[in-house]
A and B are shown apart, each in its own frame.
Chain A
Amino acid sequence: MTTLSNQGKIDISCWDGTISQHEFHTAASAFAERWNKFNAALPQCSWVARPKSPYLSSTSKESCGGGDDKEGEEELSCSRFQEDDFIDGATMLQNHDDASHHYDFHVVYNASYRVPVLYFRAYCSDGRTLVLDDVEKSIPAISAKLLMLSKWTFITQEDHPYLNCPWYTLHPCGTSEWMKMLFSYEPAVDHGGVAVAKYLVSWFSVAGQVFGLKIPFEMLSSIGN
């Protein structure tokens, strides 16, 4: 159970590591804004809220050119919703080039586990999709199983909830546990709780590590508690 005060804080003294859909929206907006601000060298994130009947946004992810993506524009007008509107979920889009392999990352809220899930797909410059074997070979951390990957999560193939084609995901079953651990020594617990806005930044410091992606420290320190 998450206690969400008016200030958007999590009371971690009785927290199970999960967040609500609304909190995910808050956290995703904060993440995208800070990523675009502090990660100018990498492709920009765009935050897309999906209504109940999914549609492809105009800022879709097919550009794989990297730095000149104009996806910094956040579709905040779409993400504004009434409290009683039902929204299936939300997606954050990001492109990342790694040599001749292109990676698309989406962060999607999973209502069953109540956590974000990292969806990714990899493809070559000619558009050919990489199979998991190729992905494992090209990502040292996955092939070497050096990280916590094999213990706390594993890669599965799932249908993308909005694009209706198979992507790979980092399975969410362990996420709430390690999120709970991550926040257990957050000093802000003494100051009324931890800002919801921090959730995805912290989450990504773990999930992104699988792919060697770094979180700039400024993304953390810019979130006041």
Chain B
Amino acid sequence: MASEPRKVVVHLRATGDAPILKQAKFKIDGSDKFVKVIDFLRRQLHRDTLFVYVNSAFSPNPEELITDLYNNFGIDGKLVVNYACSMAWG
């Protein structure tokens, strides 16, 4: 096993009325925590509150490791992270 952390491909997907990012795919170290993705989204979208979730109806804790999330929720070699900014009050 290489001592280098494996890079994980993350694909950010806009849901609801969230704006679509120009750059929605990038690589991140597997040893990074999910909070890094959340912070990236916050900066790109200029929003503090985001709803972030993965396939399988699950919103990961920011402390989770990217590599763990990829191992559990990755499909076709990438981790898809959905995000939403707002929602209509029912």
Contacts and interface: CB of A to CB of B under 8 A. Distances in A.
Interface string A29-46: 000000000000000000
A180 to B, nearest CB: 9
Contact of B72 (A151, A173, A178, A221): A221
* Interface residues of B, dominant DSSP: loop
A148 to B, nearest CB: 5
A95 interface: no
A217 B61 contact: no
Interface of B: 13, 15-16, 48-51, 53, 55-64, 68, 72, 80, 82, 84, 86-90
- With most chain A CB atoms within 10 A of its CB, the pick from B50, B62, B64, B90 is B90
4 closest residue pairs by CB, A with B: A202-B57, A151-B49, A177-B87, A214-B61
A181 B16 contact: yes
A184 B49 contact: no
Contacts of B53: 181-182, 185, 205-206
B57 A149 contact: no
Nearest to B50: A148
A194 interface: yes
B49 A194 contact: no
